Amino acid sequence: MLAADLAATGNPALRELARYTCWYLIERGDPRTAHQLASGLHRQWCDRLGQDHEHTLIAAHYRAWTLQEMGRHTESRDLNQDTLARRRRVLGHDHPDTLYTAHNLAIDLRKLGDVQAARDLDQDTLERHRRVLGQDHPATLRALGELAHDLRALGEVQAARDLNQDTLERRRRVLGPDHPDTLRSAGFLAFDLRELGEIQAARDLNHNTLDRRRRVLGHDHPDTLNSAHNLAIDLRALGEVEAARDLDQDTLDRRRRVLGHDHPDTLASAANLATDLRELGEADDAP
């Protein structure tokens, strides 16, 4: 009933409430409920307000974001490309909403293997954020983190590590050590450390990040499960295979329940658990 009321409302303030409801559901780790809401809003607002209306574009942005969170990157990319073109035309290239859609489109491009295009878009987004919002604005720091992702994917791991280290330090200062964005930077840096062969340092940082995410976000949040997934990889690399198996099994069970059996992250957990079982000589028990 609430979703129907929000979709039908002519009150701009209630439409903004719908926007923040979508955001809250995604940040809480419930993209499927957010997808149902954003999709309904987008369809109805397209019909009632037109495809280029500010609030229709907000609904399109969140609909694409939910698709991305559910691992449906081709659909998300297509909708983000359309939304970005419309927002650039309606709002301008430097508007924060335009840049947020560019940020999400770059994630889809990288996930789909078009890493150079993602890097070019992220570099442009970062430069615009720096000019409009400043070096330490949370949106600028988010753009820094995404550019580091691209650099790592292009094989520039040391450059990614340096950028993530700088971003983590800035986020700790600006947002605090337990902010979800700060913890995201810590997770990215731990990934770089492992790629550079600093496994113990990666393990320590992932362990700390997992503890903080469990306390701040809860045990079932997708970001918490990412930390558990990465810590299990470190444990296996350090020879702690039984501990890795136990953590991978728990992460797989939670991801199946939270994300579904076919989500890419769930499948990655299944593959990791199979590797653990194989190393322990328990291959017949693989999922």
193-221 pLDDT, tens digit per residue, is 999 999 999 999 999 999 999 999 999 99
- pLDDT bin (cut points 50, 70, 90) of residue 18 is confident
The tokens of 264 are what?
A: 């890419």
Can you give the pLDDT at residue 1? 43
Is 87 exposed, middle or buried (CB count within 10 Å of its CB: 0-12, 13-18, 19+)? buried
Domains of the chain (ranges; CATH) run 1-70 (no CATH), 71-155 (1.25.40.10), 177-287 (1.25.40.10)
* Nearest Cα to Cα of residue 216 among 251, 239, 184: 184
The single-letter code of the amino acid at 7 is A
73-109 pLDDT, tens digit per residue, is 999 999 999 999 999 999 999 999 999 999 999 999 9
How many other CB atoms are there within 10 angstroms of residue 286's CB atom?
A: 13
C-alpha to C-alpha distance for 91 and 112, rounded to whole angstroms: 27
Computed on alpha carbons and rounded to an integer, the radius of gyration of the chain in Å comes to: 20
Rounded to two decimals, the pTM is 0.80
C-alpha to C-alpha distance for 98 and 92, rounded to whole angstroms: 7
Q: What is the DSSP string of 204-249?
A: HHHHHHHHHHHHHT-TTSHHHHHHHHHHHHHHHHTT-HHHHHHHHH
Non-local CB neighbours of 254 within 8 Å, separated by 6+ positions: 219, 220, 225
Question: Is it the case that residue 156 has pLDDT exceeding 70?
Answer: yes
132-144 pLDDT, tens digit per residue, is 999 999 999 999 9
C-alpha to C-alpha distance for 65 and 121, rounded to whole angstroms: 17
244-271 pLDDT, tens digit per residue, is 999 999 999 999 999 999 999 999 999 9
Can you give the pLDDT at residue 13? 80
Question: Is it the case that residue 287 has pLDDT exceeding 80?
Answer: no
